[in-house]
Structure 1
Amino acid sequence: MIEILIINSLLIASVVLVHYEGLYRLTRLIPKLTFLRPRARIVISVFGALTAHVIEVWMFAFAYYFMVKSGRYGTLEGNFGGSVMDASYFSFTTYTSLGFGDIVPMGDIRYLVGLEALTGLVLITWTASFIFIEMQRFWKIKS
């Protein structure tokens, strides 16, 4: 139980740090792109944030893949063939809280699945706030 708690905590902390760093770097970069129109800077903000989300989803996907492969933390059952792509599909549906339900977690891995859904919700709303603030800042400038 302690082992799964440590693994989950380290993964969540890593994902949050990746998101923080991504948004922080975008905040510093976007104002320096004065050669671009404000609309283009907003688009770069969106693509940058999406890139951070994709990296985070893949971090969870690799965690699922290795946890299932180890056989010590549970399984992903249903339409799960055990590939990295299956793990990434499951991670995308979990992170976005879409949850098709064609892959079902069993065992201790369920705790990480719940944490990913919660983390995805928080990070997606953080991104929405970030983009809203960027839009307020740059749409005041004539585009």
Structure 2
Amino acid sequence: MDIVLATLISLAAMAVSVLLHYQSMLIARNILQGSGLSRRTGVIVGMASVTVAQILSVLLYAVIYYLMTLRPFFGSLNGEIEGGFLDPLYFSLMSYTTLGVGDIFPLGALRIVSGIEALNGFALIGWTASFAYTLMRQGWSD
């Protein structure tokens, strides 16, 4: 049951994360259309928007790790743990970016969450790169 619940929590987090990115791109586009800003400034606005979305996604997963570790049946984060919120935040950042340093690692159902976060992060980083390319291609032609 813990694996099913962890999977559902992960899928919900992924949906929120995708919606955050989609909304950040829409907001950037709406700000830029008819704003009178130069295309180069538009690149900065667009990149700031998706960077904030990336950070919020990492924070979302970090909160999930933190809350799930309060319930032992979900598993735990082990390794070089210092205590507090910094550990799940750092682990989330390593998972989201697929860096996977390995100094902190999940046990139990948290492994499902970290795997889905890595998949989510990989896809959204790629989406961000595509968005950035589009912004820059348009921005450098001015």
TM-score by length of 1: 0.91
1:31 alignment partner in structure 2? 33
> Alignment partner of 2:77: what SS?
strand
Structure with higher RCO (Cα < 8 A, 6+ apart): 2
Residues 85-135 of structure 1, C-alpha deviations (whole Å, 9 max, x = no match): 211111111111111110011001100101111110000000010111112
> Alignment partner of 1:16: what SS?
helix
1:50 aligns with 2:51: yes
Whole-angstrom distance in 1 between the partners of 2:22 and 2:83: 31
What letter corresponds to residue 3 of structure 1 in structure 2? L
> Alignment partner of 1:97: what SS?
coil
Larger deviation, residues 78-87 vs 47-56: 78-87
> Alignment partner of 2:48: what SS?
helix
1:127 aligns with 2:128: yes
TM-score by length of 2: 0.92
Whole-angstrom distance in 1 between the partners of 2:109 and 2:86: 21
After superposition, the Cα gap between the structure-2 partners of 1:90 and 1:58, relative to the gap in structure 1 and judged at 3 Å, is same
Larger deviation, residues 54-63 vs 42-51: 42-51
Whole-angstrom distance in 2 between the partners of 1:5 and 1:104: 18
- The 8 Å contact of residues 57 and 95 in structure 1, kept in 2 or not, is answered as yes
1:113 alignment partner in structure 2? 114
- The 8 Å contact of residues 19 and 53 in structure 1, kept in 2 or not, is answered as yes
**What's the RMSD between the two structures over aligned residues?**
1.3
- The 8 Å contact of residues 42 and 131 in structure 1, kept in 2 or not, is answered as yes
Alpha-carbon shift at residue 33 of structure 1 (Å):
2.9
State percent identity of aligned pairs. Answer: 34
Whole-angstrom distance in 1 between the partners of 2:87 and 2:5: 24
Whole-angstrom distance in 2 between the partners of 1:79 and 1:46: 33
Structure 1 residue runs of 5 or longer lacking an equivalent are none
- The 8 Å contact of residues 33 and 41 in structure 1, kept in 2 or not, is answered as no
After TM superposition, where is structure 1 displaced by more than 3 Å over at least 4 residues in a row?
none
2:15 alignment partner in structure 1? 13
